[in-house]
Amino acid sequence: MTDTVSPDSTAPAEPTVLADLTTIRVGGPARTLVSPTTEVELLESVRAVWERGDDWLLIGGGSNMVISDEGYDGTVIHIATHGIQVTNQTDTTLSLRVQAGESWDALVARLVARGWGGIEALSGIPGSVGAAPIQNIGAYGQEVASALTGIDFLDYDSGELVHLTTAELELGYRSSVIKSGLAGVVVAVYLTVTASPASTVQYPQLATALGVNVGDAVPLQQVRDTVLALRASKAMVLDPNEPDSASCGSFFTNPIVPEHIARGLPADAPRWVIDDDPVTDVAVPLGEEPAPPPAPKPRLVKLSAAWLIEHSGVNKGFRLPGSRAAVSTKHSLAIVNRTGADATEIAELSRYIGACVLSRYGIHLQPEPVAVGVELA
């Protein structure tokens, strides 16, 4: 039985299964569910949960979660706060403080329509604004890190609302200090975007779809429309009329491996060197011998998880015998719930895909969704 309560009420309401709050549509009931809609309610609700010592789980847009069929035996905090505040505006830049519960894509659409650029390639990504910095969302050559200036964060250890800068968040590829274990709640996100009629295209697939070259400038709205079309072609946009839409989006992150491992893959395997050391000039006083150069760092290479999956024998549309979970018919990187699958079936397929890639190429795939009570790898 799930009790659904508002921050200032303890009266139980109708039970709610967590499948209703996740885009992949799996998850059993929570013992208690709270849904604060203002910042004050959010702070009060979370602090009350912490003071009681409850186990707690945060859900925003629910787009990156797989929750067990047994549900969650604790308090689920569904963040539904809304509000966008302009903190500074000049002729060339716009700075915003955005509540965590705002829709990410709605924010992107609003900014693009008004000629503010910097996150247009992140169009169509489901979920809430508060989740964006946790795993540094990115797509088509942009990451939220490029526009993010900081967050307001309710810290679990102190119970205080603190401001964390982008540097303090330690953002990396689909990672942050929060995802690595810093406990607390993202309350608001600070972004700065730029006045620009056009976007510089940075990603080859996007450039091809637009019919331009990488580095060309394209109107913001055209970039957004093309990104949405690309994502829709892969069933990566939430659409109730799309059978492959009930998913977490990309289910696995692209592996990052040392270069010598990438060399062992077939020549047609996509790969991108991500950390070439720049060559720097060193000034040496006359008459002195230069110090020996430092040993070169091993280069890291990003691989395509989709390519690894497909070349490990897991094709689009694949499903285990008797399972209702499947690989998307449009994109091998998505696991979809097309016919009433449960969390157990989603997890079984995830583990199977990981085992196929490991057996074929010796590379571990890392599931991207937050797993609650299930093992995805």
Catalytic residue among 25, 97, 174, 231: 174
Please confirm, yes or no, whether 180 is among the known catalytic residues: no
Backbone angles phi, psi at 346, to 5 degrees: -60, -45
3-state SS, one letter per residue, for 321-346: CCCCEEECCCCCCCEEECCCCCHHHH
**Backbone angle region of 334, left / alpha / beta, with phi > 0 → left and psi within -120 to 50 → alpha:** beta
Question: For the chain, percent helix, then strand, then coil, each to nearest 5?
Answer: 25, 25, 50
> What would the two tokens of residue 162 be?
């603190």
Residues forming beta bridges with residue 187, ordered by sequence position: none
Catalytic residue among 39, 102, 143, 368: 368
CA-to-CA dists, residue 113 to 9, 103, 142, 220, angstroms: 40, 16, 18, 8
Q: Are 257 and 249 in contact (CB under 8 A)?
A: no
Return all residues near 6 (Cβ < 8 A) that are at least 6 apart: 34, 35, 36, 41
Q: Are 256 and 272 in contact (CB under 8 A)?
A: no
Q: Are 338 and 244 in contact (CB under 8 A)?
A: yes
Catalytic residue among 250, 304, 332, 350: 250
Please confirm, yes or no, whether 174 is among the known catalytic residues: yes
Please confirm, yes or no, whether 250 is among the known catalytic residues: yes
Helix (H) or strand (E) holding 130, with range, is none
Helix (H, G, I), strand (E, B) or coil at 194: strand
Residues forming beta bridges with residue 194, ordered by sequence position: 93, 117
Q: Looking at the annotation, which residues are catalytic?
A: 174, 250, 368
